[in-house]
């Protein structure tokens, strides 16, 4: 069931098109990865969905309603941005109470339980938090507000590996108990590959891929081994790219694997979403 | 051959010990990963090696010389920090020229070639660069200065996946042509696992692991499959941690694998440095 409809969106800043004729339909209660290089147009798209900026052309509907200056669809969305909009003197605890004002379903008990798990001190001022803890504070608000749509822009910025792991687990747990439509924009693609169902890839303001991660990864494979043997095997095949380390070579192929055609000594492995992304979006 | 000797270093800030009796010997021309959670003491250690701060106890030698207020060992080190020490009006191009003043072996041609690969505009002011390009600028200085020791503190902060990939490749290329002692402190452990030879793990100011990545990863394995079958298999074994996704379970074990003991239906895979790190450093 389509929940967010992005119809022929173009957004120009001066003469430069940040997005060009982008159309995507997002289903209710799915987790999407919004992937793209720095400057590909990801944040512009999120800003358009939340009506922080206006499109040059096209329209965006959330649950059937146009988002332009319209509280009904906008109240259904929580947008975690890189920016901080809280007053300087506000503490984490008081931000939770304000969350309840804006989002009637905000779950303060859950926010406090998450704060304990992440060791976030709720009596601290938000502006005094480190980069990692600012992200954690915003992650907690996102998961606790119970908005039907959550947009997360670089949610794991500054988090150490343990906190990223905890975030992914809590997101999946929270989503399984209370499914929502979630869009995650991130540069840590391989880590996110485990939690996103669909990947939307932007390149220079255009959608170049929009499919389930499972389907994307099933369309190709990797082959590793001695450079000469790999070169022989991949000749004439659809090669996305290769990595060489000493005499060892790994090639990334976008085509169906014929197991019987693989010579002894070559190792076949699954495609890796991040590597695939890198080769698709390199200029 | 030992090149950097860290001997019984303790560093207190007030009553709090950021580092406690840390001793490590770093060999010449090896790549080390300095791993630890936020607040574990990584940056404190790098600041001590470069004499930006003084130890409470212990001493640090570089190529036999104590680093305390001593230009000889300090001139052998380039330290890429999160901070920016360049004047506001300085451009990238002029910073390269200054690099040559401080580091006689600074390779301006290489710095310019790298700038082209990363699409860094060298006529831009350093302070006007985005977070990602500030990191790229500092990466380029680090690789071009040809100091015998390079310390990199979170070098990939803000970089997209393509630029991280390019950085790892250029680092390996540069290192293979001109071996140096390199210490990389990073939260992106799984990506760094391919380029670091030795991992030094700090937890609460103490070294809890210091070994080659190959040796660390050979000491354990992962097992995945149906939760009940995995639970039966791991009973009584040295389990670092487990992940559950639906009915599937993955367990991380720190012990020798007996291939014959693995029942049908369970999948064995190699240990993953980041997961291992997470389970070792969780509180």
Q: Which chain B residue lies closest to A195 (C-alpha atoms)?
A: B245
Among chain B residues, CA nearest to A37: B160
Q: Shortest CA distance to B30 belongs to which of B185, B181, B199? A: B181
Extract the tokens encoding B133: 């390009």
Q: Do A189 and B161 touch (CB under 8 A)?
A: yes
Query: How far off is chain A from B272, nearest CA to CA, in Å?
Result: 12
Q: Is the pLDDT of residue A129 over 90?
A: yes
pLDDT at B1 > cutoff 80: no
What pLDDT is recorded for position B258?
Answer: 87
User: Between β-strands B239-245 and B206-212, what pairing exists: parallel, antiparallel or unpaired?
Assistant: unpaired
The sheet with strand B31-36 has its strands ordered as B77-80, B149-153, B181-185, B31-36, B198-203, B206-212
Q: Which residue of A has its CA nearest to B278?
A: A162
Each residue's pLDDT tens digit, A92-108: 999 999 998 889 899 99
For residue B245, what pLDDT band results from cuts at 50, 70 and 90? Answer: confident
Which tens digits make up the pLDDT trace of B146-157?
Answer: 999 999 999 999
Q: Which residue has the higher pLDDT, B273 or A84?
A: B273
Cα A107 to Cα A145: distance, rounded to the nearest angstrom? 6
Residue A158: its chain B contacts at CB < 8 A? Answer: 38
pLDDT at residue A243 is higher than 90: no
Contact criterion met (CB below 8 Å) for A36 and A201: yes
pLDDT of residue B102: 86
- The hierarchical CATH code for the domain A4-216 is 3.40.50.300
> Sorting pLDDT into bands at 50, 70 and 90, what band is B83?
confident
- Whether A233 and chain B come into contact, CB under 8 Å, resolves to no
Inter-chain residue contact B187 with A282, CB threshold 8 Å: no
Calculate how close chain B gets to A203, using CA atoms only, in Å.
12
SS3 A279: helix
Q: Alpha helix locations (H) across A87-183?
A: 92-102, 108-117, 131-144, 161-177
Chain A contact for B37 (CB, 8 A cutoff):
yes
CB contact under 8 A, B37 and A189: no
Query: Is residue A173 within 8 Å of residue B243, measured between CB atoms?
Result: no
Distance from C-alpha of B156 to C-alpha of B167, rounded to nearest angstrom = 8
Within 10 angstroms of residue A205's Cβ, the number of other Cβ atoms is 22
Task: Note the pLDDT tens digit of each residue in B163-193.
Answer: 999 999 999 999 999 999 999 999 999 999 9
- Burial label for A119, CB within 10 Å (0-12, 13-18, 19+), is exposed
Segment B201-232, tens digit of pLDDT: 999 999 999 999 999 999 999 999 999 999 99
* A204 interface with B at CB cutoff 8 Å: no
- Put simply, whether A27 touches B (Cβ < 8 Å) is no
The predicted structure's pLDDT at residue A197: 97
Kindly state the average pLDDT of the residues A37-65. 96
Neighboring chain A residues of B159 at a CB cutoff of 8 Å? 187
Q: Token pair of A206, please?
A: 């255009």
The number of residues in chain B equals: 283
On average, the pLDDT of chain B sits at 94
How much is the pLDDT for A147? Answer: 95
pLDDT tens, residue by residue, A134-149: 999 999 999 999 999 9
Among B195, B148, B151, residue whose Cα is nearest residue B171? B195
Q: What is the pLDDT of residues B99-146, one digit of tens each?
A: 988 898 999 999 999 999 999 999 999 999 988 999 999 999 999 999
Is residue B132 a contact partner of residue B160, using CB atoms and an 8 Å limit?
yes
Tally of helices (H runs) and strands (E runs) in chain B: 10, 14
B105 touching chain A per CB within 8 A: no
- Give the mean pLDDT of A154-179: 95
Cβ–Cβ contact B189 with A under 8 A: yes
Please determine, for residue A246, whether its predicted confidence score (pLDDT) is greater than 90. Answer: no
% pLDDT > 70, chain B: 100
């Amino acid at each position: 069931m389509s929940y967010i409809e992005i119809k022929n969106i173009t957004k120009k800043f001066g003469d430069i098109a940040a997005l060009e004729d982008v159309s995507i339909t997002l289903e209710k209660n799915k987790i999407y990865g919004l992937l793209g290089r720095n400057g590909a147009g990801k944040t512009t798209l999120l800003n358009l969905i939340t009506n922080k900026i206006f499109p040059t052309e096209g329209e965006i509907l959330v649950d059937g309603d146009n988002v332009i200056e319209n509280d009904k669809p906008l109240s259904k969305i929580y947008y975690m941005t890189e920016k901080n909009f809280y007053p300087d003197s506000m503490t984490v605890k008081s931000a939770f109470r304000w969350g309840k004002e804006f989002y009637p379903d905000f779950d303060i008990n859950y926010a406090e339980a998450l704060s304990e798990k992440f060791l976030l001190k709720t009596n601290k001022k938000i502006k005094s938090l480190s980069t990692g803890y600012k992200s954690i504070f915003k992650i907690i608000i996102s998961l606790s507000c119970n908005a039907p749509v959550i947009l997360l822009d670089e949610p794991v910025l500054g988090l150490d590996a343990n906190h990223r792991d905890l975030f992914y687990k809590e997101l999946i747990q929270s989503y399984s108990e209370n499914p929502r439509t979630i869009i995650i924009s991130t540069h840590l693609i391989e880590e996110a590959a485990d939690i996103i169902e669909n990947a939307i890839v932007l390149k220079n303001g255009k959608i170049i891929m929009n499919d389930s991660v499972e389907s994307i990864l099933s369309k190709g494979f990797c082959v590793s081994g001695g450079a000469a043997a790999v070169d022989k095997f991949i000749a004439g095949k659809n090669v996305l790219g290769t990595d060489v380390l000493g005499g060892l070579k790994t090639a990334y192929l976008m085509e169906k694997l014929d197991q019987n055609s693989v010579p002894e000594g070559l190792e076949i492995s699954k495609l890796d979403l991040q590597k695939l992304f890198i080769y698709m979006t390199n200029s």
